[in-house]
């Protein structure tokens, strides 16, 4: 155990001592250091097994929460962090890793395949997106590919991401068109409605008659193609016209 720690320390020193990492003797493949973050011990064990049977990979830390993940990565600076994005605050965890450069690469290993989650992760610039059901057994091999500079995203995940991208582009375009069609007053009223104000409160706030507010709201509904306040707010949020807080 102590010997292994010494080796690891020596590797880290070598790493720091070399001015041009690309010039390291290519014959000797450096052992890559991994950290695994997943809520389930069984999954962490499976990842450990898959990685430890792959030459050149060494799992140097585990975490079952985002807080622990950040702490472990801060201490160990792994080459790859393998993260289940379904952990509470998973997105914030990955953002934290990239912002503070706590890991060389980030690979998502998860069950979640909803378009918004996949696209959100890719936006954060992760190097891989693997689905547990199909990739858990081969995770070591996939990590190897990431270390070779490849981006590893399974075709099914890629298809989901692209479909979501299309939806996202359409909503962005519609949002921009609808926004351009709103008068400043209508936009003002939309913002107030989405904060939960009643028609009467909106009228008082803007110093106009409730009747006038109703007229604006009717036009607003037509432009948003909705029939109720709830629909109006939900559509405005999905079009990015207002932010819920």
Partner 1 sequence: MSKRPVDGSVSEHVPRRRLGVIVVDPLPVVRAGLGLLIDDRPDMEVLAEAGTADEGIEAIQRTRRSMVIVLVGLGLSGDHDAYWLIRTLRQRYPTHAILGCGANADPTAISRALFVGADGYVDKNIDPVDFLQALRKAANREMVLATPTSSVVGQIVEGIDRRREVEVKLTHREREVLVVAAEGLTARQMATRLGVRERTITTHLARIYGKLGVGSRLGAIRMAAQSGLVSVGAPE
Applying CB under 8 A, the residues found at the interface with partner 1 are 119, 122-125, 151, 153, 158, 161-163, 165-169, 172-173, 175-176, 179-181, 184, 240-241
- Closest to partner 1 by CB, 94 vs 213, is 94
CB of 159 to partner 1, least distance (A): 8
- Closest to partner 1 by CB, 124 vs 197, is 124
Give the angle 242-169-188 at the CA atoms, nearest 5°: 20
- Closest to partner 1 by CB, 45 vs 187, is 187
CA dist., res. 95 & res. 123, Å (int): 10
Radius of gyration of the chain (CA): 25
CA dist., res. 15 & res. 241, Å (int): 49
- Closest to partner 1 by CB, 96 vs 115, is 115
Q: Are 66 and 102 in contact (CB under 8 A)?
A: no
Q: What are phi and psi of 108, to 5 degrees?
A: -85, 130
CB of 237 to partner 1, least distance (A): 12
What count of residues does the chain have? 245
CB of 152 to partner 1, least distance (A): 9
The Cα-based distances of 198 to 99, 191, 195, 235, 237 in angstroms read 41, 12, 9, 18, 18
Dihedral, CA of residue 106, residue 109, residue 111 and residue 112, to nearest 10: 10
Bridge partners for 105 per DSSP: 80
CB of 21 to partner 1, least distance (A): 21
CB of 129 to partner 1, least distance (A): 10
CB of 231 to partner 1, least distance (A): 19
- Closest to partner 1 by CB, 35 vs 122, is 122
- Closest to partner 1 by CB, 43 vs 83, is 83
């Amino acid at each position: 155990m102590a010997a292994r720690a010494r080796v690891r320390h020596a590797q880290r020193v070598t790493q720091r001592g070399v001015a041009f990492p690309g010039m390291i003797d290519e014959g000797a493949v450096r052992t890559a250091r991994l950290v695994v973050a997943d809520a389930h011990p069984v999954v962490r064990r499976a990842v450990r097994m898959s990685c430890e049977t792959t030459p050149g990979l060494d799992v140097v830390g585990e975490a079952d929460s985002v807080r622990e993940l950040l702490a472990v990565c801060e201490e160990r600076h792994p080459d790859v962090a393998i993260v289940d994005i379904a952990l509470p605050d998973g997105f914030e965890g990955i953002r934290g890793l990239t912002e503070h450069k706590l890991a060389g690469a980030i690979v998502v290993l998860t069950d979640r395949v909803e378009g918004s989650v996949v696209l959100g992760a890719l936006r954060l610039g992760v190097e891989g997106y693997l689905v547990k059901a199909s990739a858990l057994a081969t995770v070591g091999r996939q990590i190897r590919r990431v270390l070779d500079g490849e981006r590893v995203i399974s075709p099914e995940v890629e298809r989901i991401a692209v479909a979501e991208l299309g939806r996202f582009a359409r909503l962005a375009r519609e949002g921009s068109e609808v926004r351009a069609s709103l008068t400043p007053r209508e936009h003002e009223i939309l913002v107030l409605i989405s904060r939960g104000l009643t028609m009467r409160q909106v009228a008082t706030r803007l110093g106009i008659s409730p009747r006038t507010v109703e007229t604006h709201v009717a036009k607003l509904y037509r432009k948003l193609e909705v029939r109720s306040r709830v629909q109006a707010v939900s559509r405005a949020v999905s079009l990015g016209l207002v932010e819920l807080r």
